[in-house]
Structure 1
Amino acid sequence: MGRHCGWLALMAGIATGADFIFIPERPPSGEDWQDNMCAEIKRHRDLGKRKTIVIVCEGAIDSNLKPITAKDLMDLLTDRLHLDTRMTILGHVQRGGTPCAFDRNLATMQGVEAVEAVLASKPDVPSPMIAMNENKITRIDLMKAVSLTGEVAKAIARKDFIGAMDLRDPAFNQQYDQFIATTLSTDMEHSLVTHDRKNDQSLRIGIINVGAPACGMNAAVRAAVRYARNRGHVPFGIQNGFPGLIAGLIKEMKWMDVDGWIAHGGSELGTNRDQPSLDLGMVSYQLQKFDIQSLILIGGFEAYTACLEMYNARNSYPAFCMPMVHIPATISNNVPGTEYSLGADTSLNAIMQSCDAIKQSATASRKRVFVVEVHGGKSGFLAVMSGLAVGATSVYIPEEGINLARLQKDVSHLCSRYAQDAEGKTQGRVFIRSEAASKTYTTDIVSAIIKEEGHQQFDSRTAILGHIQQGNSASPLDRIRAMRLAVNSIDFLEEHASGLSSASSTKSNVSTSGPSVYNKDPDSIAVAGIQGSSVSFTSVEALLKDTDLKNRKPVQSWWMDYKRNCNLLARRTYLL
């Protein structure tokens, strides 16, 4: 779908690893676009690719505003390339079924803001539309929003395709270019190396996964490998984290080596929690032996501390004096410098689906309460956001802890809720408890207290979700974020490698024995973060002031703003 908007097609293309997309805002360029498309598909096939996916928006057009249909493309691939091509028109199945966690939370937050807008309305204030900008719920003038939407169709009609793209979300244009840059095959004749970069500026980029597995890791590796090769760089996959690096398990990665990885969960490269301090000398030696000139670390808090260790060891080990970037990937979402980590959205969906099944069981059994334990370490992100998505009766998080007075109030509130239920329509209810909410009040103890204090008004059971929370295959949102962070990270490495002038080299006291990209600038080791609608890079040194190293999380927990909504919607007025 998408008569005048290619958002669905673009995001679906990114999330599925499609080969081509056709959208109304960005028609294929040139009169010979069919020839170029067929040539690219043939290159893919010559490299060993066995399948081709083309996504067509219903409003897709060429540069002359002539419609491009799925039937046209099927005939083109069948007649020109003799491929067994099938056409699937999804239709209204795209409207979906059960909403995902992101949709539920977005709807909840917009609903709360809508009520606030009604209560604050005045005769002279324009009617608002409740929107999300920079990851924040905001109000904008409804009539202006409607007018702006209509401008896109008008721009397309007058062939102002640049203007149409600019009218979309700020990241829309960038993500389209990133999709193209990670989809083209690595034929050096068609390389994306820009004219202002010489071939001798090609980087040897190491890619390593650190910490626990998180969905989105493989999607990030795939995007990094393909974009790096299309930029003329040589990517190397490091297997099994830092122990693999120490053992020399390093292999150059080709374009087809990561084919299909976007849909794979876990970590194809392998990962663990070990740090460079396991053997800093051997880590340095292997980086020099394989001439690794820049490094991408994909992982959770362990990847952040690994960057810190290598940064602090730069004076002793010149091999660490190179650009490094950390792409946050952890279901706990506890990395400083970013609002979201890869894997967190997938984990929320896994928790939500499990809790939906649990609530169904609890409702069928009538008066039953489940205390569900979720991961997260000292971060309450998963508990708060999953509690909001599933309508939890109460949420216990490390930031607040658990005490007896709180439990007594929650049980009293629970009793009153069950007393208010209509006869025969009693609902099952869920309590969400973060694994580190309390050392004393464990999940079993909380459940036992609820059952005992309920005086047989309801039963209580526990459910510890464990590693099921890591999910199976990465959610579309995690895949899209993975591509965006990976592409921007390669650009960051280029900037901090090729940007070395003679002045900066003198300032850094360059040693001839060091790597060719020798760089001791603190900004050259950074965390790639999602801040609002932008991708930011903050040095690991600068992030120290915003990091609680003891509890392995950021000092500020932005999700605490939504804890109030959890209490409000569960009618826990005593906590507001």
Structure 2
Amino acid sequence: MQTIAVLTSGGDAPGMNAAIRSVVRYGVHKELKVLGIRQGYEGLLNAEIEEMNLSSVADIIHRGGTKLRSARSERFKTPEGLRKALNVINIFNIDGLVVIGGDGSFRGAQVLSENGVPTVGLPGTIDNDLAYTEYTIGFDTAVNTALDAIGKIRDTSTSHGRANIIEVMGRDCGDLALHAGLAGGAESIIVPEIPFDVDRVCNKLLQGRNRGKLHSLIVLAEGAGNAIDLGKQIQEKTGIETRATILGHIQRGGTPTAKDRVMASQMGAKAVELLLEGKESVAVGMRGTKVISMPIKEALALENEMEKETYDLADILSK
């Protein structure tokens, strides 16, 4: 193992820069040549590759987004694209690759590994939808971004006596909605994993109004419904003026939290160690405060489960 490379793929997540910095600086510490691949797998196909050093990653640990930029690549998924990727890897004498991204990025890493390229995957996604790890890089920052928005919406909601629906990201996984909703004191949290009854949501709003509450907050994961349509239903059923706010891509940006920076740094160093140990097709994650690793194939096979106890707690505390 003399030369390793690192890329970021798919949706960006706060903390990716901290992971890149860790891979580069720890790799240099281990006397490795470290290459940065721009624009994810698409950049790999286009040979958008440059050597990185200590200065390349200076002053990025606190920055959101990804210095290497990111993209999705349909070409990489084709046999021709894979052949081209392997050819580029061979030309640049890349002995090992660190891939930072979500499940799609991990599948790409697994394919490369099956074709002779040792790969290590770092979980970079705000959705926290990889079941093998308790936390993914960017999740904690996204929760805090959503929580900040919830606090501001509560202020204006109280002033006008409205109900407000805050739609957060989470197509298939409701972790972001659950954690932000619990921390933000939402009356109802709606997630893809658990069916919801709009009448029950309305009853909770009316009960709160009868207790003298001046505002009502509902946090909705994007995969569980449409905030605007739900708002119309609630207003028609309750007579309470209801507004919808879709946070969108604001959740992807911003300065990463200390938790995301530390976790990403630990994972980046672990990825380099695993490559030096000769490991192939491995996913790095967190369990408690410990960095763990397991085969990517096994990691992707695990089904993500909703934190039912936390969901039930949020429901009890919101009454």
TM-score band, normalised by shorter chain: over 0.9
Q: Distance in 2 between matches of 1:228 and 1:544?
A: 26
Q: Secondary structure at the match of 1:260?
A: coil
- Name the CA distance, whole Å, in 2 between partners of 1:494 and 1:308: 18
Deviations 1:513-539 (A, max 9, x none): xxxxxxxxxx62111010122111110
> Which one of 19, 22, 25 corresponds to residue 223 of structure 1?
22
Shift of 1:544: 4.2
The equivalent residue for 1:369 is: 163
Query: Over the residues paired in the alignment, what is the CA RMSD in angstroms?
Result: 1.4
SS of equivalent to 2:172:
coil
Instruction: Name the structure 2 match of 1:94.
Output: none
8 Å Cα contact 2:130-2:304 kept in structure 1: no
- Structure 1 gaps, min length 5: 1-201, 315-320, 497-522, 547-554, 572-576
Moved over 3 A (4+): none
CA contact (8 A) 2:167 2:246 kept: yes
1:428 aligns with 2:215: yes
Residues 197-236 of structure 1: matches in 2 within 5 Å? 202-236=1-35
Secondary structure of the equivalent of 2:223? Answer: coil
Query: SS of the counterpart of 2:277?
Result: helix
What code does the residue aligned with 1:288 have?
A: N
* TM-score between the two structures when normalised by the length of structure 2: 0.95
Give the conservation status (yes or no) of the 8 Å contact 1:304–1:335.
Answer: no
Q: Is 1:239 the equivalent of 2:38?
A: yes
**Residue 443 (str. 1) matches residue 242 (str. 2):** no
Query: Of 269, 286, 290, which residue of structure 2 is paired with 1:534?
Result: 290
Question: Are 2:187 and 2:204, in contact at CA under 8 Å, matched by a contact in 1?
Answer: no
Q: Which residue of 2 aligns with 1:465?
A: 247
Aligned to 2:153: 358
Amino acid at match of 1:247: N
How far off is 1:416 after superposition?
1.6
Shift of the alpha carbon at 1:348? 0.4
Q: Find the counterpart in structure 2 of residue 410 from structure 1.
A: 201
Mapped to 1, the partners of 2:118 and 2:292 lie a distance apart of 15
Partners of 1:545 and 1:416 in 2: CA distance: 42
Bigger radius of gyration? 1
For residues 97-143 of structure 1, give each alpha carbon's deviation from its aligned partner in whole angstroms, at most 9, with x where no partner exists: xxxxxxxxxxxxxxxxxxxxxxxxxxxxxxxxxxxxxxxxxxxxxxx
C-alpha separation in 1, matches of 2:32 and 2:307: 38
Of 96, 106, 113, the match for 1:304? 106
Say whether residues 1:261 and 2:60 are aligned partners: yes
Give the letter aligned to residue 209 of structure 2.
Y
Task: Look up the SS of the partner of 1:486 in the other structure.
Answer: helix
Distance 1:229 1:543, change over 3 A: same
How many Å apart are 1:415 and its aligned residue? 0.8
Whole-Å separation in 1 of the counterparts to 2:306 and 2:222: 19
Structure 2 gaps, min length 5:
none
* Per-residue deviation, 1:322: 3.3
Contact map agreement 1:385 1:559 (CA 8 A) in 2: no
Counterpart Cα distance in 1 of 2:235 and 2:28: 59
1:567 and 2:315 are equivalent in the alignment: yes
C-alpha distance in 1, partners of 2:12/2:130?
Answer: 15
2:265 equivalent among 483, 498, 501: 483
- Are the aligned partners of 1:371 and 1:447 in contact in 2 as well (CA < 8 Å)? yes
2:238 equivalent in structure 1: 454
Residue 549 (structure 1) aligns with? none
Amino acid at match of 1:410: V
Aligned residues with identical type, % of pairs: 27
Deviation at 1:558, TM superposition (A): 5.1
2:128 aligned partner: 333
Aligned partners of 1:211 and 1:301 also within 8 Å: no
> In structure 2, do the counterparts of structure 1 residues 226 and 559 end up closer, same or farther at CA, with 3 Å as the change threshold?
same
CA contact (8 A) 1:220 1:482 kept: yes
Call closer, same or farther: CA 1:410–1:223 in 2, change over 3 Å. Answer: same
> C-alpha distance in 1, partners of 2:49/2:308?
41
Q: In structure 1, how many angstroms separate the alpha carbons of the residues matched to 2:314 and 2:156?
A: 22
Change (3 A) 1:339 1:304: same
SS of equivalent residue, structure 1 residue 372: strand
Distance (whole Å) between structure 2 residues aligned to residue 541 and residue 413 of structure 1: 43
Alpha-carbon contact 2:38-2:49 (below 8 Å) kept: yes
Q: Is the 8 A contact 1:368 1:461 kept in 2?
A: yes
* Deviation for aligned residue 1:203: 2.0
- 1:381 equivalent in alignment to 2:175: yes
Q: Distance in 1 between matches of 2:273 and 2:113?
A: 20
